[in-house]
Structure 1
Amino acid sequence: MVNNQEWWRGAVIYQVYPRSFFDSNNDGIGDLSGVTKKMSYIASLGVDAIWLSPFFTSPMKDFGYDVSDYCDVDPIFGTLDDFDELIISAHNHGLKVMIDQVLNHSSDQHPWFIESRSSHDNSKADWYVWADAQPDGAAPNNWLSVFGGPAWHWDSRRRQYYLHNFLDSQPDLNFHNPNVVSSLLHTVEFWLKRGVDGFRLDTANYYYHDTELRNNPPKENVVEGSIGVRLDNPYAYQLHLYDKSRPENIAFLQRLRNLLDQYPNTTTVGEVGCDFSLKTMAAYTQGNDKLHMCYSFDLLTHDSSMKHIRNTMETIEAGLGDGWPCWSIGNHDVERVATRWGRNHHSIEKSKIYMVMLLSLRGSVCLYQGEELGLPEANLEFNQLVDPFGINFWPEFKGRDGCRTPIPWKNQPLGGFTESITPWLPLSNEQLPLAVKEQEDNRHSILHAYRDFLHLRRAHPELVHGSIHFLYNDDSTLVYTRSYNQKQLYIALNTSEQDKIIPIDLNLTPLILPEALKSGYIDHNAVVLPPFSSLIAYIS
């Protein structure tokens, strides 16, 4: 049996991007009180926890992922009292609360950095990664920023470069300094004492850098479309051996886990983005002494083939040992899955069948707000963008604003998100017909498909805790089993618009799937899967 302290094993975590969830005070920006007002909606989905994207004090150059105070709420989101009320509401609804922790870097407006850059001999002089220029004035090495260009920014006060893996307003903290580590862990404990149940760790493999500042080698066989590769961004051309995923990271994760273990029933999920993400996921979650679980970008690509899904799952299963995965097919950093995998062709049917797939794989799951509505990517014009990533790479890459637009609660001009002001990002006219109120009134909607299947999943522990074994796949069909406590479920998925017939020599007793989903059926010695359908059955 699964220990109650391990509630996170097989849990479904609903990601809330507060800016875009619900605006309670009509200033055009979603806030913590807005999340609290919609807590009943989140609980009705049948998820186990919420993950709040950053709400900390920030200049918002990267919309909260540039923190200037780790222990306070930015006024646009409310107050610490509002956060405490959110925690109480979530717990009263039976939901755990996880928050984003952005430990790799701070804002350049954080007091730590302001002091660090002031001189070479202040008390925080080495709290960030500083390095001298090369003799010709060039940057210390060839490391690149994820957001394009060098990962080094010249500071005229110190007459040195500082490292920034992301925006130049997001300087990297120096984890080789034990005072930095202790101070960051203190901020983590601040939120544990306020009752949070866990943390989503942003860029969890970036914390440490190579102290020798060795150049990264070039990556061989760079192919567009592989994990995290866009050829319009030079970051893709390096093998990132020295600027992230360093071996020292393991000891920090162990120290972080030791802190979490002092607060029972808490958990961590780490975001891992690197050239060896599945291997890193295994290393970070094995041994029950580091992260509880990790997710990677392996399912956040454009490859939705069942061959890719099976290969990803089997690769991590083979190397995971006693570690635990967490899977996501969408978040605040990537094109919405209804567009990325659906390509607006049969996107509603595809959204449903990919949901069944995601929620029946082994591991925990992160769902991004709006996936339960089947929201497509919002198509924004250049003058509507606010994301610096998108502005830098327009028009080849339109950035992350298209997946961050406000949630439509009603099919009306402001979507029921706000009432009296233009939202921080425009509501998408294409998304308005998919508003919550519209789908509530349609028993065959994507929203009802999510709710009903999530509740079905809870009723069948094989889908939550069971081992997994793959039986068959082609590009659009996947067949596997989930086994738990001597019971075995057979799962067959058809993600194509053609009928699929799968021969069987098993005695199957199908589950009754929610009416919003298309069901396969058994005909003599075969499973018949109509387009975009699934069959889940007990093997006897």
Structure 2
Amino acid sequence: MTQKASNNGWWRGGVIYQIYPRSFQDSNGDGIGDLPGITQRLDHIAALGADAIWLSPFFKSPMKDFGYDVSDYNDVDPMFGTLDDFKALVQRAHALGLKVMIDQVLSHCSDQHPWFTESRASRNNPKADWFVWADARHDGTPPNNWLSVFGGSAWQWDTRRRQYYLHNFLSSQPDLNFHNPAVQDALLDAVKFWLELGVDGYRLDAINFCFHDAALRDNPGRGAPLIEDPTAPSSNPYSWQHHRYDKSQPEALGFLRRLRSLVDRYDDTTMVGEIGDEAGLTMVADYTGGSDKLHMAYCFTLLGGAHDAPFLHATIQQFQQVAGDGWPCWALSNHDVARVATRWGGEHPDPRLLRLAAAFQLSLRGTVCLYQGEELGLPEATIAFEDLQDPYGISMWPEFKGRDGCRTPMPWAADAPQAGFSTGERSWLPVPPEHRPLAVDRQQADAGSLLSDFKQLLHWRREQPALLHGELHLRPVDAQVLAFERHHSAQRVLCAFNFSDTPATLALPEGWSQARALDGSGLSGAHVEGDTLVFEPWGGLFLQA
């Protein structure tokens, strides 16, 4: 048996900063971000107080889904640079004290990957069973009712084999057949390749999609959902099914154990999985429990529009009921959903809400993932149809505008061409005019900016053992105020947040009458009056007993 490497658990309570490479920094003027550009800007992330970066895919790809359609798992796409550029990025990040995590897309690859080229050539070649192939029904229709996340059937007809192949996303993203051990072996080899280059961990894209029901049974329908499905908008018929058989199969846990066994051979490594499923919180617990699968995982529960105190209370309570020894990673924004400033704050988000949301996220038990620009309070951008790049948005327009609005270039300098992102005349997505006043240079010069608050909060949190490692005990549910206690060793912290736009009060919990405000977080808008907590709109506080 291979001996486990050491692991210092840096990821427990750590802060991971997600970088979308196309939009972070362009170093060569072609309007597309790249690896050397990221390296140039790593100081910003280190100064912010993050512990690690997560890079969205930079592998070779035809870019039909902007890198989430991999054609070579072991090389950098020339658009982003070279392997030497990646090695330089890792070296610089490590010098700054930042861990490097990369995005691995294991459930599917590009239809231009050599594996698929060989698989589709015939029904009897060595890779014939590396993808999910199935015969048509007697009437020529697909083998079952499974739907693609991006619209339409999840099955694409191939004239070479005269069979359908499965694609849970674009038809150019065929699903790999994880029921074939050789497929698992090949993907584990790809994971090992980057571990040998010094990466500290992985974000695993759509990890619950790896296995499908081998019997290809139909998904049960549920009709148009009464509430928004966390994995697809109600305008997408994908949300009209219970996805019982096309994803989230029990066999996935066996593969995750193989993956963990490999990653555990390298010092201080970690993995965070993306889980898109109706039962997301339960699956986070299942996929991370037992210390033999994923280290942590996140789902889409906090990536929707709901954010009042009862909803947040119920979310935490639900996870605690199923968590066991599982470990969550909490995200409020990423490259797949509208930015939290707009989702939670509307067209004109109140800065106090954005500060409160950050303080709430950073006081939860678990790891935190921040998306580039979240520290600036960037709102969701409005992209004209003719400027859209995202195939998901193009096919679902106008009810669902896709993901381009959260993927626009990072604004570094308010008055510079392309807001300092690029020296080119055009960038791959336009820089929104409303993002320029929020640029890094403007906020760095303003002690009262959201960026300054984020820096203060992240650095302050590093000194609070209760917030990093403590247990979480919810206070009773309240219509306006979310409150919970964090306990670790000798430190007890009461975290209380008024998630409403009107003043609020809350009785001080028993045992907290002698508590004092925990200074240094930058959170404001609340104070103690006798035995009562008094909150301004979007106010919050930390008390230490």
TM-score class, shorter-chain normalisation, is over 0.9
Alpha-carbon separation, structure 2, partners of 1:67 and 1:4: 30
Alpha-carbon separation, structure 2, partners of 1:47 and 1:491: 21
Q: 1:510 — aligned with what? A: 517
Inter-CA distance 145–475: structure 2 relative to 1 (3 Å threshold) = farther
* Aligned mate of 1:222, from 222, 225, 228: 225
Q: 1:319 — aligned with what? A: 322
Give the aligned residue type for 1:520.
A
Alpha-carbon separation, structure 2, partners of 1:109 and 1:424: 23
Q: 2:301 — aligned with what? A: 298
Give the aligned residue type for 2:129.
D
Inter-CA distance 55–159: structure 2 relative to 1 (3 Å threshold) = same
1:342 partnered with 2:345: yes
Match of 2:410, SS?
coil
1:33 partnered with 2:40: no
Q: 1:436 — aligned with what? A: 440
Whether the 8 Å CA contact 2:465–2:491 is kept in 1: the answer is no
Alpha-carbon separation, structure 2, partners of 1:346 and 1:128: 45
Q: 1:522 — aligned with what? A: 528
Alpha-carbon separation, structure 2, partners of 1:286 and 1:204: 15
Inter-CA distance 321–514: structure 2 relative to 1 (3 Å threshold) = closer
Q: Which range moves more in the overlay, 343-352 or 255-264? A: 343-352
* Aligned mate of 1:166, from 162, 166, 169: 169
Q: CA deviation at 1:420?
A: 2.5
Superposition pairs for residues 118-137 of structure 1, below 5 Å?
Answer: 118-137=121-140
* Aligned mate of 1:23, from 21, 26, 45: 26
Match of 1:67, SS?
coil
Cα deviations by residue, 1:323-343 (Å, 9 ceiling, x for unpaired):
101110100000010001000
Give the aligned residue type for 1:299.
L
Cα deviations by residue, 1:395-417 (Å, 9 ceiling, x for unpaired):
00110000000000011241000
Whether the 8 Å CA contact 1:228–1:301 is kept in 2: the answer is no
Match of 1:218, SS?
coil
Give the aligned residue type for 1:446.
L
Q: Which range moves more in the overlay, 485-494 or 156-165? A: 485-494
Q: Which range moves more in the overlay, 262-271 or 471-480? A: 471-480
1:536 partnered with 2:542: yes
Q: CA deviation at 1:502?
A: 1.5
Q: 2:427 — aligned with what? A: 423
Match of 1:205, SS?
helix
Q: 1:107 — aligned with what? A: 110
Match of 1:212, SS?
coil
1:68 partnered with 2:71: yes
Q: CA deviation at 1:4?
A: 5.7
Q: 1:499 — aligned with what? A: 503
Alpha-carbon separation, structure 1, partners of 2:444 and 2:196: 37
Across the two proteins, how many residue pairs are aligned to each other?
A: 536
Alpha-carbon separation, structure 1, partners of 2:471 and 2:385: 46
Q: 2:3 — aligned with what? A: none
Q: 1:330 — aligned with what? A: 333
Alpha-carbon separation, structure 1, partners of 2:46 and 2:210: 34
Whether the 8 Å CA contact 1:225–1:302 is kept in 2: the answer is no
Match of 2:476, SS?
strand
Q: CA deviation at 1:220?
A: 6.3
Give the aligned residue type for 1:454.
L
Q: 1:249 — aligned with what? A: 252
Superposition pairs for residues 481-496 of structure 1, below 5 Å?
Answer: 481-496=485-500
Whether the 8 Å CA contact 2:7–2:267 is kept in 1: the answer is no
Match of 1:51, SS?
strand
Match of 1:181, SS?
helix
Q: CA deviation at 1:345?
A: 3.4
Q: CA deviation at 1:526?
A: 1.2
Cα deviations by residue, 1:295-328 (Å, 9 ceiling, x for unpaired):
0000001111121111111111111111101110
Tell me, which stretches of 5 or more residues in structure 1 are unaligned? none
Cα deviations by residue, 1:178-222 (Å, 9 ceiling, x for unpaired):
110000000000000000000000001000011110001112672
RMSD: 1.2
TM-score scaled by length of structure 2: 0.97
Give the aligned residue type for 1:510.
A
Match of 2:428, SS?
coil
Q: CA deviation at 1:473?
A: 3.6
Cα deviations by residue, 1:76-107 (Å, 9 ceiling, x for unpaired):
10000000000000000001000000000000
Alpha-carbon separation, structure 2, partners of 1:249 and 1:536: 40
TM-score scaled by length of structure 1: 0.97
Whether the 8 Å CA contact 2:481–2:506 is kept in 1: the answer is no
Superposition pairs for residues 202-217 of structure 1, below 5 Å?
Answer: 202-217=205-220
Q: CA deviation at 1:344?
A: 2.8
Tell me, which stretches of 5 or more residues in structure 2 are unaligned? 1-5
Whether the 8 Å CA contact 2:472–2:487 is kept in 1: the answer is yes
Match of 2:543, SS?
strand
**Identical-pair percentage:** 54
Q: Which range moves more in the overlay, 213-222 or 117-126? A: 213-222
Whether the 8 Å CA contact 2:224–2:240 is kept in 1: the answer is no
Match of 1:360, SS?
coil
Alpha-carbon separation, structure 2, partners of 1:107 and 1:26: 27
Whether the 8 Å CA contact 1:339–1:347 is kept in 2: the answer is no
